[in-house]
Amino acid sequence: MITADHLTKRYGPHAAVDDVSFRCEPGTVTGFLGPNGAGKSTTMRMLCGLTRPTSGAAAVAGRPYRELPNPGREVGVLLDASAQHVGRSGRETLTLAARTMGVDAGRVAAVLDRVGLNPVAAKRRVGAYSLGMRQRLGLALALLGEPRVLVLDEPANGLDPEGIFWMRGLLRDFADRGGTVLLSSHLLREVEAVADRLVVIGGGRVVAQGGKDELLAGAGTLVRARDPHALRLTLDRAGLDATGSADGGCVVRAEPDAVGQAAADAGLVLTELRPAGGGGLEQLFLTLTAGASTKEAVK
């Protein structure tokens, strides 16, 4: 179990994370999504005791991370795969970590095998690893203590398509055995394939959270007309709540039937009318976070 309870982190006047609350339950993979600078890494660092919240609280496996007596046995963390010592081999890195955690040294070979680092790769210095190999080693470190919770920031970064597919299976299997996974990723299709639940943040705030299927189903209606201005006026007059989507259409909080009827009554020519979630997670993400990246870029 992971709990974020009204987490807020301010840097000067700027709130990097603003009143973020969510829970990740055992047996589930939660996808943590948001545009660049949305506050994902800062939230994950607060969950893992690396950044002190300005206000609010976080708990993993029932306690604040810093109060866990042997955290690696409870929570596997992968926040920055390039943070490992470049002068040690992969095997040495894991052997040292096993000693620190009090884990049987025999488990090193098992996790190396689990993450697909063969004996030749395990003997090489981490400095000579590709980003994908570092991610695999980072995941091996996270799994070493046989934790029940995983907190992973962009674990698929640098992995090739086969590696991404492999990681999806590994995370699904971990959750299916009762584990709890929180996973941030920019690879929306991968998140869509593996996550049960989603937490979407933009500008430091939660903009949506819930079951993946429920969020995709409740995303409203995407509508596009030959005359976009007349469409907005028509939707306003019909009392339908609409927002501009990132790509020029309108997302309306209503069923397609009601939107189509309002357009027909006004004699409008529609060029697209469909459930917004039908475009998958990518469409939902763009809709929910429309403008957030731009705000970040000009801040």
Ligand X SMILES: Nc1ncnc2c1ncn2[C@@H]1O[C@H](COP(=O)(O)OP(=O)(O)OP(=O)(O)O)[C@@H](O)[C@H]1O
Using CB under 6 A as the criterion, which residues of the chain lie in contact with ligand X when the complex forms?
Answer: 11, 16, 34, 36-42
Cα separations in angstroms, 158 against 132, 168, 187, 287: 5, 14, 11, 27
In sign, the C-alpha dihedral spanning 56, 57, 58, 62 is: negative
Give the strands of the sheet with 221-225, arranged side by side. 242-244, 250-252, 221-225, 270-275
What is the spatial distance between Cα 157 and Cα 138, in angstroms, rounded to a whole number? 12
- Decide whether 52 or 229 has the Cβ nearer to ligand X: 52
Query: What is the number of the residue whose Cβ is closest to ligand X?
Result: 16
For residue 150, the SS3 value is: strand
What DSSP character marks residue 226? Answer: S
Q: How far is the CB of 38 from ligand X (least distance, A)?
A: 4
- Decide whether 37 or 76 has the Cβ nearer to ligand X: 37
- Decide whether 36 or 294 has the Cβ nearer to ligand X: 36
Q: How far is the CB of 51 from ligand X (least distance, A)?
A: 8
b/e burial code for range 269-287 (CB count within 10 A of at least 16 → b): eeeebebbbebebebbbbb
Count CB neighbours of 195 within 10 A: 26
Q: How far is the CB of 273 from ligand X (least distance, A)?
A: 33
What DSSP character marks residue 1? Answer: -
- Decide whether 55 or 271 has the Cβ nearer to ligand X: 55
Q: How far is the CB of 279 from ligand X (least distance, A)?
A: 22
Q: How far is the CB of 9 from ligand X (least distance, A)?
A: 8
